[in-house]
C-alpha cells in the first residue's frame, strides 16, 4: 500500500460515514426528548414512537427522574433528555425500588426476530450487600410490579460479590441473566440485543452485545454487520436460550427498574439490609425487526457534499506531498 493510500485509509470517520447514513424504522423509539427540566417523570405524556399514555412510577424510596441532559455516544444520533432511576436504601426490612412503566401500542407477528438497543450509564453502584438490579423489561401491563415478571430483559445486577454484571433474559422466570460482563461505572455503553421467535411456540434465543464508543467505531470500520459484532475486540456478547413463549404486543409495557435487591429473588424481609446507592441512566431506546432499525447514526454529508470533502482531502494530501518532495 502506498503512503497516500495508507493516509486515506485512516482519515478519521471517512469510511465510517457511508454505511452510517442508512437507518431503518423503529417499532419503538424513546429518546426522552421532552424539553423538560429535571423532574419526576410520573405523569409525563409520551410523544415517542410505539408508546402510548403517560409514565407511571411505583416506588418505595426510589426515584425515577426525567433528566434534561441525555446520554451521548460518538457515531450515534442522540436527543435531549434521559431517564434516571436511583435507590439509596434506608431501612433493613423492606425492599427499596422504583419501577417506571409505560404501555406500548405496537405488535409483531408470531415468529418474528426482534432487535433492541439502548444507551446505559451506571453512574453509581455502591450497594454493600445482596443483589442490586437495574433493568429494562417488556412485561405484561396487567402484572408490572411482581418478582420475575418480564421478557426481553437487559439487566445490570450485583450477583454475589460481583458488581455491575450485565446479561440478558429471554422470559420471566429466569433466575439470573446469562453472561458475566462487568461494566464500569460512569461509562456510557451501547446495548444491542436480539430475541428470536418472538410470539412463536417453543421459545427462542436472546443475545446481547455491549459496546463502548471505541468498540462501536471499530465495529463500523469492520463492516457494521451482525457477524462483525462477534469479532470486535474487547466487546462483550452473551446469549440465553429459553423454552418460554414470549410476545410483543399491546398487552405489554416497558418497565424500567432499579432495586436494592433483585426483583427476581424472593426472600424474607430480614434480608433487605443493603446500604449505598444504585443509579442508572437509560436513553435512546429502540425496538425493531432488523439491526438497522435500532441504530440511528450521526448525520453525515449528502453524497455530493461527501465527494467534495473527499476530493478536497485528496488534493490537500497530494499538495502536501509535492511540497515535501
Pick from 10-24, 214-228, 257-271 the range whose average pLDDT is largest: 214-228
Q: Is 32 left (phi over 0), alpha (psi -120 to 50) or beta?
A: left
pTM for the predicted model, two decimal places: 0.83
Confidence at residue 166, expressed as pLDDT on a 0 to 100 scale: 78
Q: How far apart are CA 69 and CA 55, in angstroms?
A: 18
pLDDT grade, residue 308 (50/70/90)? very low
pLDDT at 31: 97
CA 87 to chain centre: 20
Number of H-type helices and E-type strands within the chain = 5, 16
CATH assignment of 26-292, among 2.60.40.1180, 2.60.120.200, 3.30.420.40, 2.40.50.500: 2.60.120.200
C-alpha cell at 181: 460482563
The answer on pLDDT for 213 being more than 70 is yes
- Report pLDDT for 178: 62
State residue 310's pLDDT score.
47
pLDDT of 312 strictly over 90: no
pLDDT band at 117 (very low <50, low <70, confident <90, very high): very high
Closest CA to 281 of 256, 259, 261, 298: 256
> Quick one: which of 156, 137, 157 has its CA closest to 148?
137
Q: Is the pLDDT of residue 306 over 50?
A: no
pLDDT value at position 88?
A: 92
Q: Return the domain boundaries, the chain.
A: 1-21+300-325, 26-292
More confident site: 10 or 277 = 277
Q: Which of 153-162, 214-223, 226-235 has the highest mean predicted lDDT (pLDDT)?
A: 214-223
Q: Does the pLDDT value for residue 4 go beyond 50?
A: no
C-alpha–C-alpha distance, residues 60 and 67, integer Å: 20
47 pLDDT above the threshold of 90: yes
pLDDT tens digits along 9-42: 333 443 443 343 445 689 999 999 999 999 999 9
Amino acid at each position: 500500500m502506498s503512503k497516500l493510500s495508507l493516509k486515506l485509509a485512516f482519515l478519521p470517520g471517512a469510511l465510517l460515514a457511508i454505511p452510517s447514513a442508512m437507518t431503518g424504522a423503529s417499532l419503538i423509539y424513546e429518546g426522552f426528548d421532552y424539553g423538560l427540566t429535571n423532574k419526576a417523570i410520573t405523569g409525563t405524556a409520551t410523544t415517542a414512537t410505539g408508546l402510548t399514555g403517560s409514565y407511571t412510577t411505583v416506588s418505595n424510596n426510589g426515584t425515577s427522574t426525567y433528566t434534561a441532559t441525555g446520554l451521548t455516544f460518538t457515531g450515534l444520533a442522540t436527543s435531549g433528555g434521559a431517564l434516571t432511576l436511583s435507590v439509596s436504601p434506608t431501612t433493613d426490612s423492606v425492599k427499596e425500588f422504583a419501577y417506571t412503566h409505560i404501555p406500548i401500542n405496537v405488535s409483531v407477528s408470531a415468529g418474528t426476530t426482534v432487535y433492541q438497543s439502548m444507551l446505559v450509564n451506571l453512574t453509581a453502584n455502591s450497594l454493600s450487600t445482596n443483589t442490586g438490579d437495574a433493568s429494562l423489561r417488556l412485561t405484561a401491563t396487567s402484572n408490572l410490579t411482581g418478582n420475575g415478571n418480564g421478557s426481553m430483559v437487559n439487566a445490570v445486577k450485583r450477583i454475589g460479590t460481583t458488581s455491575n454484571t450485565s446479561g440478558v433474559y429471554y422470559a420471566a422466570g429466569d433466575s439470573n441473566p446469562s453472561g458475566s460482563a462487568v461494566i464500569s461505572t460512569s461509562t456510557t455503553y451501547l446495548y444491542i440485543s436480539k430475541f428470536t421467535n418472538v410470539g412463536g411456540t417453543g421459545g427462542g434465543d436472546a443475545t446481547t452485545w455491549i459496546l463502548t464508543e471505541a468498540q462501536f467505531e471499530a465495529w463500523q470500520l469492520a463492516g457494521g454487520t451482525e457477524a462483525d459484532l462477534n469479532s470486535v475486540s474487547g466487546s462483550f456478547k452473551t446469549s440465553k436460550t429459553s423454552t418460554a413463549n414470549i410476545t410483543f404486543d399491546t398487552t405489554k409495557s416497558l418497565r424500567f427498574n432499579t432495586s436494592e435487591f433483585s426483583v427476581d429473588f424472593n426472600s424474607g424481609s430480614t434480608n433487605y439490609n443493603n446500604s449505598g446507592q444504585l443509579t442508572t441512566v437509560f436513553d435512546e431506546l429502540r425496538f425493531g425487526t432488523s439491526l438497522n432499525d435500532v441504530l440511528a447514526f450521526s448525520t453525515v454529508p449528502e453524497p455530493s457534499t461527501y465527494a467534495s470533502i473527499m476530493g478536497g482531502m485528496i488534493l490537500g494530501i497530494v499538495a502536501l506531498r509535492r511540497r515535501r518532495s
